[in-house]
Each structure stands twice: as structure tokens, then as C-alpha cells.
Amino acid sequence: MIRRSILLGTGSALPVRAVSNAELAQTVDTSDEWIVERTGIRNRHIAGDGETTATLATQAAQEALAAAGLAAQDIDLIILATATPDQTFPAAATKVQAALGIDDCVAFDVAAVCSGFLYALTVADSMIRSGAAQRALVIGSETFSRILDWDDRATCVLFGDGAGAVVLGAQESEDGQRGILAAKLHADGRHNQLLYVDGGPSTTQTVGKLRMKGQEVFRHAVVNLASVLREVMELAKLTPADIDWLVPHQANARILDATARKLKLSPDRVVVTVDRHANTSAASVPLALDVAMRDGRIKPGDLVVLEAMGGGFTWGACVLRV
Ligand SMILES: CC(C)(COP(=O)(O)OP(=O)(O)OC[C@H]1O[C@@H](n2cnc3c(N)ncnc32)[C@H](O)[C@@H]1OP(=O)(O)O)[C@@H](O)C(=O)NCCC(=O)NCCS
């Protein structure tokens, strides 16, 4: 028998306030035309008073549990991917655990920035396959609006807030054809200075602001994503022609197009939400997955490939049969 992590449900949450490019252009020296042409972004959500990484994560988790038909107490593992936790410690995952009313389970955060959800999913999958967990909540949740330099037009227009969650459950079968079939992660810490936050508890004792060399990040992203996608498809013994849906990290429409082209994947097989959510970092992949599950594009039996790349650099990909 083969033990795999099966996708049981998805959920997502967005802050109430939506901010269009036109609204942003009232306070930032930019234009709707520039943002759409360079990034494909038209809209983003910005967290307001009382909306935090943990509250958004909790909402997304509740939706995912409802979709899975499970109660919070059925969960024995929560992994929350975030670079913008409510507090330096404890982990935001423990706030979600308390908000969901779970008395005891394993709960921790993963910090891999935009690849955080792929990292969290891979760790949860390993724990499920090893028998250390049975049912896991894997969440990506971010409030990047709180670490943006709103005077830096080259970065502040690119990001938004939100959360996405999935419930994974252990399942044994003869053929092992469903669930997470393969995952591959990478990191290359030499590129710290291309995408980072200029503060932290152990250095400046401040939270800091996001800094990025956009063009260099862009170049690395296209190369690394195409390469890890090939790797993970090989691990799963599949080819890009087998992919029903690519659910990529939503950083920039041009990166999505370039990645799809490299894989010779038709653009109508790529789930795109960057236009409405902007880059929500660790939340972007589970948010996009939830959108495509709920609107019926992704159906049971579909082969779905997830990928992301972010600060570190970190990057990864995962092949999943829904
Ligand atoms: C950020 C990004 C959109 C910038 O696009 P670009 O084509 O590289 O643009 P540049 O940085 O070269 O800037 C071009 C010009 O636009 C200007 N500009 C930058 N931001 C602007 C904005 N929001 N509005 C209007 N003009 C802007 C620059 O000042 C520059 O002007 P100049 O030529 O007079 O100096 C692009 O590099 C990118 O998407 N990079 C990847 C970033 C990313 O996805 N990171 C997250 C990965 S997890």
C-alpha cells in the first residue's frame, strides 16, 4: 500500500478593502497603465484595523475545513507559511490553533517568503507520509502591506494581503495515484540582497521594509521556476503534456507567461489571479488554488502543478493529483 497526502479541501480569505491601481495612483507616483503593462496587476486587497496575518489565516482555515467536511479537532498539524507574522514569536500558527479551538496539535510557522506555501506543503506531506500526522492544515497568510515602503513605487504597487489554506489527509491505496506525487525545494542564500527586509529583531530591533532589485529577481525567477518544474515532473515520471493546471506563484503576469512558454504549456492551463490579488507572497498559491477549485476549473482527478519562487532565494514545485 502507498500512503499519500490527499487534498481534502481548500479555503481563502481577503481583507475587506480592495485597492485599484487608480486609487493607488492618488498617493503613489504611478499609473494604472504602467502597473498593468509591467505586471498585469489591476487590484490588491489591503488589511485594515483588526485584520492580521493570523485572522486572515483563521478565516481561510475555517473555509478549508468546511470544504473538507472536517471539524477543527480533526486536525493534528498546522503549518503556517508567512513572512509577516502577528508577533516575532510565538508562531502565528499557534494563534490560528487557538482561534480554531484546537486544544492540542503540532503548530509552527515556516519562513520561506513567497515559496513558503510550497515549503509548508512539502513538510506537511513528509510528516503525513511518515505517519507523524494524519490531517494537516497548511496555510499561507500575509499582510505585506505592513512591510512595504509606500514611498518606493517600484515595490509598493506589486504586493497585496490575503490568505489561502488547504487540508491534507493521509490515504493509503494500491496505486498511489492520488494526492501529492512529488515535490522539490531549493534555496540559494547568496542572493539575500536582491529581495529582503531591511530590519529584524536580531539586527535593527525593527520590523523593517521590503527592498527588491526587481529586474534581477525577474531573471532568476524565470530560470529557476522552469528548472524546478522540469525536475518535479521528472520525479513524478510525468511530462508537461500531462499537466491539467499550473497554479503558479502570482508575482507578475510576465513571469507566468514566460514560465508557461518554457514548458510549452498553453496559457489557458495556467491559473492567473495576479490581476485581482497582486503578489500575496506565501498566500498566492493557495489563494489561486482555492479560486480555481471553487469556480470549477480544477476537478477531481486533475493533475495540478504548484510552483513558487521568492526571497532567499527560495523556490520549489509540487505535483498533485486532486
Ligand atoms: C518590478 C518590475 C515590475 C519593474 O519593471 P521593470 O520593467 O524592470 O522596470 P524598471 O525597474 O527597469 O523601471 C523602469 C522605469 O519605471 C519606473 N517605475 C518603477 N516603478 C514604477 C511605478 N510603480 N510606476 C511608474 N513608474 C515606475 C522606474 O523609475 C524606471 O524609470 P526610469 O527609466 O525613468 O528610471 C519588474 O522588474 C518585476 O516584475 N520584477 C520581478 C519582481 C517580482 O516579481 N518579485 C517578487 C518575486 S517573489
Q: Which one of 29, 30, 38 would you pick to mutate in the ligand 1 pocket, going by the greatest count of ligand atoms within 8 A of its CB?
A: 38
Is residue 192 flagged as an active site residue? no
User: Phi first, then psi: what are they for 121, rounded to 5°?
Assistant: -65, -40
Residues of the chain with CATH 3.40.47.10: 2-173, 179-321
Q: Are 109 and 81 in contact (CB under 8 A)?
A: yes
* CATH of segment(s) 2-173: 3.40.47.10
Q: Is 83 helix (H, G, I), strand (E, B) or coil?
A: coil
pTM, full prediction: 0.98
Residue 36 Cβ inside 6 Å of ligand 1? The answer reads no
Query: What pLDDT score does 311 carry?
Result: 98
Query: What pLDDT score does 121 carry?
Result: 98
Which secondary structure element, helix H or strand E, spans residue 94, and what is its range? helix 92-100
Question: What's the number of CA atoms in the CB half-sphere (13 Å) around residue 65?
Answer: 23
Nearest atom of ligand 1 to the alpha carbon of 218: 41
Query: What pLDDT score does 300 carry?
Result: 96
Nearest atom of ligand 1 to the alpha carbon of 153: 23
Residue 186 Cβ inside 6 Å of ligand 1? The answer reads no
Q: Which listed residue (114, 156, 224, 318) is catalytic?
A: 114
Beta strands 43-46 and 161-173 are unpaired
* CATH of segment(s) 179-321: 3.40.47.10
Residue 39 Cβ inside 6 Å of ligand 1? The answer reads yes
% of the chain surpassing 70 pLDDT: 100
User: How crowded is residue 103: how many other Cβ atoms within 10 Å of its Cβ?
Assistant: 8
- The separation between CA 89 and the C-alpha centre of its own chain, rounded to angstroms, equals 21
Nearest atom of ligand 1 to the alpha carbon of 310: 48
Is residue 249 flagged as an active site residue? yes
* 138, β-bridge pairs: 79, 166
User: Phi first, then psi: what are they for 228, rounded to 5°?
Assistant: -70, -30
Q: Give first-to-last CA distance, the chain, whole Å.
A: 19
* 168, β-bridge pairs: 7, 136
Query: What pLDDT score does 62 carry?
Result: 98
Q: Is the backbone of residue 176 left (phi > 0), alpha (psi -120 to 50) or beta?
A: left
Dist CA 45 CA 283 (whole Å): 12
Q: Whose CA is nearest to atom 6 of ligand 1?
A: 215
Query: What pLDDT score does 97 carry?
Result: 98
Report in angstroms the alpha-carbon separations of 303 from 31, 46, 105, 178, 241: 38, 32, 30, 9, 10
Q: Are 139 and 57 in contact (CB under 8 A)?
A: yes
Question: What's the number of CA atoms in the CB half-sphere (13 Å) around residue 147?
Answer: 27
Residue 30 Cβ inside 6 Å of ligand 1? The answer reads yes
Residue 34 Cβ inside 6 Å of ligand 1? The answer reads yes
How would you list the strands of the sheet with 245-248, edge to edge? 179-187, 314-321, 303-310, 245-248
Q: Whose CA is nearest to atom 44 of ligand 1?
A: 251
Q: Are 271 and 243 in contact (CB under 8 A)?
A: no
Low-confidence stretches of the chain (pLDDT beneath 50): none
Residue 220 Cβ inside 6 Å of ligand 1? The answer reads no
Q: What is the DSSP string of 259-291?
A: HHHHTT--GGGB---HHHH-B-GGGHHHHHHHH
Query: What pLDDT score does 226 carry?
Result: 94
* 137, β-bridge pairs: 78, 167
Residue 217 Cβ inside 6 Å of ligand 1? The answer reads yes
Q: Whose CA is nearest to atom 23 of ligand 1?
A: 153
